[in-house]
């Protein structure tokens, strides 16, 4: 029984790790595509791939005043290099299969949110701060990418991206305080909420109201 | 006598804390107004509010390699959320009462400068570095806000903002080395210098000379 | 013999320190020239000088979760202030002597790469991460400078800058693992490679291929 639980826990860790690498892989590809549109060269492409995929987690670790996670993980670094290289050579194909792409990107993002939140809790942060760290992990890679590409970050203008992260992260947080922390069902539910909200938002073209339209639209 | 001093010290701490929260509150409102002008959505508005009000202190704490202060202060976080929410709902009113706004913004900025400098000294930094940390605390929230809004930071182009911080901070620094550190009169004098210089500068439309005009204007 | 070696080691440290300060000095001047072109004021000029010359090393130290090096080095700070001041008053002369300028800039950059890499190794980082830290030390001052000036970072678009750093840094890394770490010949060779590649690249107008042209140009 106990042994089973350990095996179960180990396998859960492996699953999370796999999803983490998938998320990084797809964010690296998406970083390269952005760099390509901005007329960047190869070096710029790889750097943007790194920042888009690992930037959010880096900022989280800096804020937590702890070691930056990817710096001791050769497998994450190789995943980024691989994603960027594949992204460079199959740019046009990726642009055509936007939908497949979207699925993995959203999956990675939902995992990043929960992983960041979980790390915040492990570092004894306030619940709200842990939630914030989850959202930062999932979104700030894209924010720094857009800043380096000289755009106003996309998620500040258009996407329901962050709202999805906050909702799913909030459910995970409540679940944790109800005693279901670290359990697989809670993980599945909160990640699903993120994926569903984002998918619905993109499908139905939901947008957050603009700050300046608060009276007109409401 | 001793007990009085302790009460006095405690009350000073409370006063500083109150001004700190006021500064954060007003910088959050001002962040939301900027986000509104840039066509950002609600999420973007709250993020810019966070960064404009707490970004300078965050950078200071990262440079000091210490824990980020606001992350363990729920009251600061609530103040930002409150400021941002009020900013969103009363945008037009705030735009009309620019002058009242300016007073609190300047008060907050002067406090941020001294608080940052003081923290630098407590961490045994070089005097010049402590002064720099004070200026960073007061100004870099605005710098990151402008970068995220895709503008060249305002204080690099127009305002005498930083000069005011450096002057007041310099006086506080000299006073500290003359043995008046942590005393209320020194605090009042150096904060007043910041407020007076900035107010005069905005009123009389003083500008720093541009780098490229150094020979033409001098 | 042992004493000689110590003297030798000391003198090597002095030489590295001198080159480090020269690199910082010239990057500060180049920062001021950029600020001037962007219509910044004096304060902006000094800040950009600071960031262009010390920003890369700052980011490296933040990522290493250690104390930021320049914050305890008054001589580095004075060097920046001096470089920025001289840059402001002799702007036009510096614009004319681009070639002399280029030599020192390249020398500083090559030193920054090796110094960053070496520091990474001293902090027991993975070889690839140490190389990355070297490149970050040499290039990210310029990246943050360009972001603050509202440009897409130059090195992501045009220069072979980073490729030069990676090549020289790679040689230093291989040499270190072959047992020549910290030796003067290895230092000279790897720094020369950086200088030669960059000089050739600028002279022969080499560019990295753009991400989007991968099929057209290859």
Contact by Cβ (8 Å): B132, B60: no
State the average pLDDT over residues C48-62: 94
Q: Is the dihedral of CA B83, B89, B91, B93 positive or negative?
A: negative
Interface-testing mutation among B56, B133, B144, B156, with chain C (most C C-beta atoms within 10 A): B156
Q: Is the pLDDT of residue C16 over 90?
A: no
Contact by Cβ (8 Å): B68, B61: yes
How far, in Å, CA of A167 to CA of B85, rounded?
Answer: 19
Inform me whether the C-beta atom of residue A82 falls under 8 Å from chain C C-beta atoms.
no
> How far C189 CA sits from the closest chain B CA (Å)?
34
pLDDT in tens, C101-117: 777 778 888 989 998 99
Cβ distance C128 to A35 less than 8 Å, yes or no, reads no
pLDDT score of B7: 67
C-alpha dist (Å) from residue B36 to A154, A212, B47: 15, 5, 12
Q: How confident is the model at residue B9 (pLDDT cuts 50, 70, 90)?
A: low
Return the number of CB contacts < 8 Å for A and C.
79
Give the nearest chain A residue to C136 (CA atoms): A47
Interface pTM, i.e. ipTM: 0.86
Q: Is the pLDDT of residue B198 over 50?
A: yes
For A34-79, the three-class secondary structure string (H helix, E strand, C coil) is HHHHCCCEHHHHHHHHHHHHHHHHHHHHHHCCCCCHHHHCHHHHHH
For chain B, the three-class secondary structure string (H helix, E strand, C coil) is CHHHHHHHHHHHHHHHHHHHHHHHHHHHHHHHHHHHHCCCEHHHHHHHHHHHHHHHHHHHHHHCCCCCHHHHCHHHHHHHHHHHHHHHHCHHHHHHCHHHHHHHHHHHHHHHHHHHHHHHHHCCCCHHHHHHHHHHHHHHHHHHHHHHCCCCCHHHCCCCHHHHHHHHHHHHHHHHHHHHCCCHHHHHHHHHHHHHHHHHHHHCCCCCCEHHHHHHHC
Give the nearest chain B residue to C146 (CA atoms): B152
Cβ distance C35 to B211 less than 8 Å, yes or no, reads yes
Cβ distance C40 to B157 less than 8 Å, yes or no, reads yes
Inform me whether the C-beta atom of residue C155 falls under 8 Å from chain A C-beta atoms.
yes
Inform me whether the C-beta atom of residue C103 falls under 8 Å from chain A C-beta atoms.
no
Return the number of CB contacts < 8 Å for A and B.
79
pLDDT score of A74: 92
Inform me whether the C-beta atom of residue A129 falls under 8 Å from chain C C-beta atoms.
no
Give the nearest chain A residue to B44 (CA atoms): A156
pLDDT score of B137: 93
Q: Specify the DSSP class assigned to residue A154.
A: G
Inform me whether the C-beta atom of residue B43 falls under 8 Å from chain A C-beta atoms.
yes
Cβ distance B156 to C43 less than 8 Å, yes or no, reads yes
How far, in Å, CA of B157 to CA of B70, rounded?
Answer: 29
pLDDT score of B86: 92
Q: How confident is the model at residue B217 (pLDDT cuts 50, 70, 90)?
A: very low
Inform me whether the C-beta atom of residue B131 falls under 8 Å from chain A C-beta atoms.
no
pLDDT score of A217: 44
Q: Which residues of B touch A210 (CB under 8 A)?
A: 36, 39-42
Give the nearest chain A residue to B50 (CA atoms): A132
pLDDT in tens, A111-156: 899 989 989 999 999 999 999 999 999 999 989 988 988 888 877 7
pLDDT score of B2: 57
Q: Is the pLDDT of residue B215 over 70?
A: no
Cβ distance A77 to C129 less than 8 Å, yes or no, reads yes
CB-nearest to C214 from A65, A88, A149 is: A88
Tell me the pLDDT of chain A averaged across its residues.
Answer: 85
Residue B209 falls in which region: left (phi positive, over 0), alpha (psi -120 to 50) or beta = beta
pLDDT in tens, A49-88: 999 999 999 999 999 999 999 999 999 999 999 999 998 8
CB-nearest to C157 from A44, A65, A68 is: A44
> How far B23 CA sits from the closest chain A CA (Å)?
21
pLDDT in tens, A184-207: 889 889 999 999 998 888 888 887
pLDDT score of B218: 42
Q: How confident is the model at residue C218 (pLDDT cuts 50, 70, 90)?
A: very low
Q: Is the pLDDT of residue C128 over 60?
A: yes
Cβ distance A36 to C151 less than 8 Å, yes or no, reads no
Give the nearest chain C residue to B128 (CA atoms): C74
Inform me whether the C-beta atom of residue A212 falls under 8 Å from chain B C-beta atoms.
yes
Inform me whether the C-beta atom of residue A68 falls under 8 Å from chain B C-beta atoms.
no
State the average pLDDT over residues B99-111: 80
Contact by Cβ (8 Å): A130, A117: yes
């Amino acid at each position: 029984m106990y042994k089973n639980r350990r095996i179960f826990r180990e396998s859960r860790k492996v699953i999370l790790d796999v999803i983490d690498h998938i998320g990084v892989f797809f964010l690296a590809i998406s970083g390269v595509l952005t760099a390509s549109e901005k007329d960047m060269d190869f070096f710029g492409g790889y750097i943007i791939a790194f920042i888009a995929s690992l930037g959010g987690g880096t900022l989280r670790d800096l804020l937590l005043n702890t070691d930056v996670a990817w710096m001791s993980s050769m497998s994450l670094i190789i995943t980024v290099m691989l994603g960027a290289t594949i992204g460079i050579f199959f740019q046009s194909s990726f642009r055509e299969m936007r939908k497949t792409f979207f699925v993995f990107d959203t999956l990675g993002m939902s995992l990043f949110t929960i992983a960041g939140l979980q790390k915040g809790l492990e570092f004894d942060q306030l619940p709200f701060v842990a939630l914030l760290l989850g959202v930062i992990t999932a979104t700030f890679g894209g924010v720094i990418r857009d800043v380096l590409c000289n755009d106003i970050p996309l998620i500040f203008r258009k996407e329901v991206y962050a709202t999805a992260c906050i909702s799913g992260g909030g459910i995970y947080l409540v679940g944790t305080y109800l005693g279901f922390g670290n359990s697989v069902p809670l993980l599945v539910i909160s990640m699903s909420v993120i994926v569903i909200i984002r998918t619905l938002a993109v499908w139905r073209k939901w947008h957050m109201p603009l700050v300046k339209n608060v009276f007109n639209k409401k």
